Structures are given as C-alpha cells and as structure tokens.
Structure 1
Amino acid sequence: MDNRSVLKMTPGRAALVGLMDCYVRGLLDPFVTLLEVHKLMYFMQVAGEPLRLKFVKATYGPYAENLRHVLNAIEGHLVSGYADGGDAPDKELELVPGALEDAHAFLENTPETQARFERVSTLIEGFESSFGLELLSTVHWIASEEKILDFDDIVNHTYAWSERKKQFSRRQIKIAFDILSEKGWIEHSDVREAAHPGRTSDKK
C-alpha cells in the first residue's frame, strides 16, 4: 500500500517537500539535514505561510521544537530518516519517491503558497549548505526579531549569540545581510553601515 495515499497533503507539507528538493538540487548530496529543514521552514513562515511553528533563538539559529510533530507525521509518507534517533542537527532526511510530484501538483492549486515557496527558493540560492543557511537565518533573526539597525551591532550580536557563530566572518555576515536586504526580507533604509576596508579579507 502506498503510504502517501493515506496522508493529507497541506500547503506546509507541500512547501517543505518542494523546498527540500530545491535545496538538494544545489548540493552534491541527495539529502537535507534536520538543521537545514528548520531554516527552510523558518523562512517559509517568515514569507507569510501560516505554519504555526514556534521559532526561538537556539544554538544553531532559529529553531522550532514543534516542527518535530510535522516531521513525525510525514515520516515514511513524504520524507525518510527522521525516525532514526533524536533531533541531531546533522540528521539526514530524504524525500520518498513520488513525494515531489504530489507536492508540485498541490502547489499548482495553491498560488499563494507557491509564491512564498518561490520567494524562499530565490533567497537561498548560493546558501545551499548548513553553514550558509545558519548564517542567513541568524542574520535575519537579529535584524528582524531583535530590531538591530546598525551593521556593527548586527556583527556583535551574531558573535554574542553563541560561540559557534564566531565561525562567520564579518564579510560573510555582510553578504548575508545584503542579500536579505536586496531581496526584501529585511528593511534597512535607516541602517548605518560602517566601512571597514581592512576587514573585508576575512575567510570566504
């Protein structure tokens, strides 16, 4: 019996499947980690999709504990790998054969969700890694949730978030900030960007 036939497709589930596929196509690996799924769904909710996920500031960036209920529901139906062990950030999830076709068919009839999906897909281009998505979501959270307007302060808040955030160079934070701004994810017309030419040679 096809497990997918007994699971109701919803806009959120279709978006999750579509984003996983979009993301994987930018990688060499056939899987997405749990950390990356949290970040993809974070941006989907920020885009306006009513997912009712309760994101909080966590070690690896925005994290929603109640996303586990979604993943438990679709395990074996749309994705595989979540049931193996706990919620380790590097847990590997893959799409179940046929899930993508079902998701695309559903999205074709839900234009608002489709538009949000496409907006997120465009945003993550070039950030297809756990490092890239953590960077992008961390900078977005600081700028939007913590209302930090000064770029120097954004850098300082990034480094103060957790010890692991110090892996992000100032240059990388600036790239993420500029992409988020250019693509309309944060408003920063009043942001005061300090020029530090000597700091642009940080690691890429």
Structure 2
Amino acid sequence: MQIIIFEPGGAPVAEKMVRNREVPKMTAGRAVLVELMNRYLAGLLDPFITLIEVHKLMYFMQEAGEPLRLKYTKAPYGPYAENLRHVLHVIEGHLLTGYADGGDIPDKQLKLLPGAVKDASDFLLHHPDTRARFDRVADLVEGFESPFGLELLSTVHWVIHKNSVSAVDEAIRRVHAWSNRKMQFTPRQIGLADMLSNKGWGTDRVTVMV
C-alpha cells in the first residue's frame, strides 16, 4: 500500500482572498480613505500602511467634520472604530489589499490597488468640502507618518477634546493614565498639543513643556 502525504496548502495570500465580489461604488468615505493612504504613503519608503495608521487617519477625517459614522472608542492603541471593519471588508480586493482575513492586528499591512487613487481623486473633484477636510488632515499628520506618531497625535487629541483639557500637566496625566502603553510618550512629545491648537485642532491653547 502506498501512502502519499500532501503538504498543507495554508491560507491563500491576501491578494487572492477577495471576500466581496461585487464591485463597490465610490463614496466620500471610501475616496478619502484611499486618498489619505496615498498622501500618507508619499512620505514613506514602504509601499504599505498599517491598520493602526488607517484607523487614526480616518479618526481625524471624522473629527474634521466628515460624516463617516465611525464609532470611535478609547482603545489600547488610541481611538479605534470597530465598524471601520465593514468599510475595509467591502473595498478589500477592489481598492486595497491586505485586509482579507478581517482581523484587527494593529501592524497589518494594507496596500492600495492600481486604479484606486485615480478613481478616488476623480470622485473628490466633485466634492470640494470633503477635499478641503482631506487637505486639513493631510496637513495635520505631516511629520507624524508612523504608527507611533499617529498614535501619539490621536491620543493627545482625544484627551484634549473628550476631557476639555487646557493645561499640559493635565494632558500628560490623562495620557499616562490611559494605559501603561501610553507611558512611552514623554511630556515633551505630549506637548505637541500646542501644535494641534496652532492648526485649529485644539480647544484652548495648551502650554508646551520643553
């Protein structure tokens, strides 16, 4: 008797795991997600963006006034919207790739697919208000293009707005009380809250510690 053992095939690569076969229509939310990823990637050497960074970019887009209906909550890595999963699930394999298994690993790598940027850009030409909010977010995150940078920026913003913080000592205390993970942010880094105010993202001006 001959016994043949086959090597396990394993899970297919993300590019082949298209979960939604119906081509999704372009919407303002999907267009800004693609455009934010594209603008963000322009400042990086890597061809991908992590899931945690996408969550933060969309957080700021909603805070800029775009009605995305994302339900952000306080989470270990900063503001997190569980229902962003649905958006990523729908556009996986059409506008981006990398989210195929639907998991929420923070460092999951997402990539834009060919044609996605042009479609998104063409759509936003007819939505100037959304484009203006996009430009505002792109300006805000310039210089913070990393998972660390966006977690810091979004955490400080959340603390300021959810608690009406106007003193840097209070901002530091609340950031560090968020979780042990947030202790990695130094008082000087948390002092970037003043930059948020300068760009119109703060409540009242916060004094910076140096």
Same fold (TM over 0.5): yes
What percent identity do the matched residue pairs reach? 63
1:151 aligns with 168
Query: 2: CA distance between counterparts of 1:107 and 1:148?
Result: 35
Find the counterpart in structure 2 of residue 128 from structure 1: 145
Gaps of 5+ in 2: 1-19
Q: Secondary structure at the match of 1:62?
A: strand
Q: Aligned letter for 1:30?
A: P
Deviations, residues 117-155 of structure 1 (Å, cap 9, x unaligned) = 000000000000000000000000000112122210100
Read off the aligned partner of 2:150 and give its amino acid letter: L
Q: Residues 32, 4 of structure 1: CA spacing in aligned structure 2 closer, same or farther, 3 A cutoff? A: farther
In the other structure, the counterpart of 2:54 is: 37
Q: Could you list the runs of 5+ residues in structure 1 that have no partner in the other structure?
A: none
2: CA distance, partners of 1:85 / 1:9: 21
CA contact (8 A) 2:193 2:208 kept: no
| 8 A Cα contact 1:4 1:78, kept in partner | no
1:177 aligns with 2:188: no
Matching residue's letter, 2:116: A
How far apart in 2 are the matches of 1:5 and 1:101? 20
Q: Distance in 2 between matches of 1:12 and 1:89?
A: 21
For the residues of structure 1 that align with 2:36 and 2:146, how far apart are their CA atoms?
13
Q: TM-score normalized by structure 2?
A: 0.87
2:26–2:123 Cα contact (<8 Å) kept: yes
Alignment check: 8 A CA contact 1:32 1:94 kept:
yes
1:80 is matched with 97
In the TM superposition, residue 39 of structure 1 has moved relative to its aligned partner by: 0.1
- 2:161 is equivalent to residue 141 of structure 1: no
Runs of 4+ in 1 over 3 A off after TM superposition: none
1:6, distance to aligned residue in structure 2 (A): 2.7
> How large is the Cα RMSD of the aligned pairs?
1.6
Q: CA deviation at 1:194?
A: 7.3
Between the aligned partners of 1:6 and 1:66, the Cα distance in structure 2 is 20
